[in-house]
Amino acid sequence: MGNKAILKKAIEEDPLYHKREYDGDFLSKESELLVIEHLCPNCNKVKTFHRKNNPPQRGSDFGSPGRSTGEPTLISSTIHYKYQCTYCGTKINFWVELNSDNNWLRKIGQNPPWSIEIPNDLEKYLHENEEFYKKGLICLSQSFGLGACTYFRRIIENEIDPLLALLIERKKLEGENEDKIEEYKSIKEGKSFTAKTKLAYEITPQSLIIDGMNPFKVLHDFFSQGIHSKNEKECVKIALKAKDSLEFVVIELNREKDNREKFRDSIKDINS
């Protein structure tokens, strides 16, 4: 990935303080990023933004003490990037810290701030998980990856039991024997997430099953890997990668629950 693409990723996608390494002389290429795609707070849609300060404004340098002649040895500096929405003219600002000794950069400021708003179609289904999701986003916005993974995993765990309740209800309507129903209830009320995912997999929508993968288990294992064996930086990467998948799974599973509840009610009406 070239330096321009690295800077673009940092500005468009990264939470604050998430470091990205770059190659060679970054400062000679900083003027290349003239256009970005970003959520416009006024349009409330992702729009094209053009840079307004050309070249970007250099801020304070932080390095070794100055010498009697020449420039001090540069360790890090801040660069201010200002962009304007091509549709409505709304301006957004980013401050990037550049460390030229160790060849990394990170976004250290953003105005308007990194959004922790929940998409409307997701908010509809989160219910009691809304608080966990917001806390996860807040952690992610400050690059607290471990906290983000913990809150996101909790959502996956909370989504299982309502699905199992619907499965048990469906099995009753299908005439499943009482011993089997009690077995299902025992799994639902137990603490083994693995057992729950196996049971819940039976009612997972086909749209979520790709190459036979269980979405509950995949996401839960992914977040657990971060919580138990990764550092904060690695957990940020995990949370960023899995956040969209988590949103998709929650939305699709709850749509499936709604459809099954409607089916259950209609069957009851027929049999009444």
| 222 vs 67, higher pLDDT | 222
Average pLDDT over residues 217-235: 91
Specify the length of the chain in residues: 272
> CA-CA distance, 208 to 189, in Å (whole number)?
25
At 243, which helix (H) or strand (E)?
A: helix 232-271
Average pLDDT over residues 99-119: 87
What are the pLDDT digits (tens) for 143-159?
899 999 999 999 988 88
Look at residue 259 in the predicted model and tell me its pLDDT: 78
In the chain, DSSP finds a helix count (H) and a strand count (E) of: 8, 7
Confidence band, pLDDT 50/70/90 cuts, at residue 27: low
What are the pLDDT digits (tens) for 39-64?
888 888 889 999 987 777 776 555 44
Two structure tokens written together for 155: 């959502």
What are the pLDDT digits (tens) for 157-180?
888 888 788 778 877 877 888 998
> CA-CA distance, 160 to 151, in Å (whole number)?
15
Is residue 119 classed as helix, strand or coil in its secondary structure?
A: coil
The reported pTM is: 0.70
Look at residue 108 in the predicted model and tell me its pLDDT: 92
Look at residue 173 in the predicted model and tell me its pLDDT: 77
